[in-house]
Amino acid sequence: MASRRNFLEKLTVSAVGLPLLYHSNPLFAATEAPYQGPVLKVAIMGLGSYGTRVAEAMKDCKRAKLVGVISGTPSKIKDWQAKYDIPKKNCYNYENFDAIKDNKDIDAVYVITPNGLHKDQSIRVAKAGKHVICEKPMAVNADEAQEMVDACKAAKVHLLIGYRMHYEPKTVEVIKMRQNGEFGKVKFFQGQSGFTIGDPNQWRLNKELAGGGAMMDIGIYSINGARYMLGEEPIWVTAQETKTDPIKFKEGVDETIQFQLGFPSGAVANCLSTYNMSHLDRFFMTGSEGWVEMKPSTGYGPIKGRTHKGELDQPHITHQTLQMDGMSQLIFEGVQPIVPLDGEEGLKDMKIIDAIYRAVETGEKVAINL
């Protein structure tokens, strides 16, 4: 399935040609001629599976370039140096990376390590005077996220969260349709985010490194999705947890949580977050004039979807390529994506996650104040 997806992804890009795809995306409409503007020079911290995906996607970026690495594994640094042509002077480990402050050849650090490390690492990057791009979830709770926002503000650097869907063409189209009133008054969102997790010894099942369980890792897509699809901020949540395997999913590591969000307009969202069910990557939204279903809705793509008007046919472009070029444009030119992805945005999701966990614990309806 994964290789079929890769094949389709490659086919989509090579058949139409990347420049054409870029041209057809409003974000890059202005870049028909060879791009000559500023290029965001990025170091990746954490050379694991997602870090590798981002590095591969960045090969096609015009406005961003991978120039450095931060890793605790010397052999990985060597491999990456060879693969991505990274000079030795741009290679750091977790002990010495504060010295990046004296490296003029690095503008930003992309933190792609386990969630529990994001806060301290991001704050160290900010103190070194570099822009911070941090993976989701930005931290393990709202207090930590707030500290990161404050540190980046104090250091006058950007803090951007890896919400790649905010640049994904079909998602952007649906958000525009909602903004234009094409669904009428939106009343209901359904988000289903989950997969069956494997190796019981991985960091994602370790409370200290993950901050929780499925909610931190995959449920966050339904939270963020509910907000960008409905275009409102929730004011209350109720939530229920189901745990069928307490050995694998220990205390503080959620297996499955269903949660409901209420919005000021009266709209409601009904969502499922799980590490123990397969084939769950679906958004549905309905309003007085129309509806949309996206399935898959947040995977690496191609995203598929249809509305009351028919199939969504925007092109597939590797999400991380769009994201990194988009973030460069945001940093250098102030061009925002259709939905923001800065630290404040990430902080809202962390506040909602805190409220979901509180609702599970107390069994009560918890107010959310964003």
Residues acting as catalytic residues = 136, 221
Q: Does 225 bind ligand NAD (CB under 6 A)?
A: no
Q: Does 203 bind ligand NAD (CB under 6 A)?
A: yes
User: Using CB under 6 A, which of 50, 84, 236, 291 touches ligand NAD?
Assistant: 50
Between 49 and 244, whose beta carbon lies closer to ligand NAD? Answer: 49
Q: How far apart are CA 285 and CA 231, in angstroms?
A: 12
CA angle, 355 as apex, 350 and 356 as ends, to 5°? 95
- Tell me the closest approach of the beta carbon of residue 318 to ligand NAD, in angstroms: 12
Number of other CB atoms surrounding residue 117 within 10 Å? 18
Distance, in Å, from the CA atom of 292 to the CA atom of 339, rounded to the nearest integer, reads: 18
* C-alpha gyration radius of the chain: 20
Could you tell me if 112 and 97 are in contact, meaning their C-beta atoms sit under 8 angstroms apart? no
The reply on whether position 340 binds ligand NAD by CB under 6 A is no
Shortest Å distance, C-beta 206 to ligand NAD: 8
Count helices and strands in the chain by DSSP H and E runs: 12, 15
Determine the interface stretch with ligand NAD among 85-93, 112-120, 180-188, 190-198 (rule: CB under 6 A): 112-120
- Is 329 buried (19+), middle (13-18) or exposed (0-12) by CB count in 10 A? buried
Q: Is 195 in the site for ligand NAD (CB under 6 A)?
A: no
Contact present, 273 and 349 (Cβ < 8 Å): no
Q: ω into residue 34 within 30 of 0, thus cis? A: no
Stretch that binds ligand NAD, among 43-51, 306-314, 327-335, 340-348 (CB under 6 A): 43-51
- State which of residues 16, 209, 268, 338 lies at the interface with ligand NAD (CB under 6 A): 209
Options 102-110, 111-119, 233-241, 349-357: segment touching ligand NAD (CB under 6 A)? 111-119
Cα–Cα distance measured from residue 193 to residue 85, given in angstroms and rounded to the nearest whole number: 37
Q: Does 47 bind ligand NAD (CB under 6 A)?
A: yes
CB 271 within 8 A of CB 222: yes
Query: Would you count residue 217 as binding ligand NAD (CB under 6 A)?
Result: yes
Q: Helices marked H in the chain — which ranges?
A: 2-16, 18-24, 49-58, 74-84, 118-127, 142-155, 169-179, 207-210, 214, 220-230, 319-333, 343-362
Size of the site for ligand NAD (CB under 6 A): 19
- Quick one: 113 or 122, whose CB is closer to ligand NAD? 113
Q: Among residues 48 and 231, whose Cβ is nearest to ligand NAD?
A: 48
Around Cβ 83, how many Cβ atoms within 10 Å?
Answer: 13
Question: Is residue 200 at the binding interface for ligand NAD, with CB under 6 A as the rule?
Answer: no
Q: What residue number has its CB nearest to ligand NAD?
A: 48
Q: Which is nearer to ligand NAD, 221 or 357 (CB)?
A: 221
| Residue number, 297 or 307, with CB nearest to ligand NAD | 297
Shortest reach from residue 314's CB to ligand NAD, in Å? 19
Residue 97 Cβ vs ligand NAD, minimum distance, rounded to whole Å: 12
How many C-beta neighbours within 10 Å does residue 248 have?
A: 16
Which residues, 6 or more positions from 355, have their beta carbon under 8 angstroms from its beta carbon? 237, 366, 367, 368
- Under the binding rule (CB under 6 A), the answer on residue 124 touching ligand NAD is no
Chosen residue from 115, 224, 273, 286 binding ligand NAD by CB under 6 A: 115
Binding residues for ligand NAD, rule: CB under 6 A, are: 46-51, 72, 112-115, 117, 135-136, 162, 164, 203, 209, 217
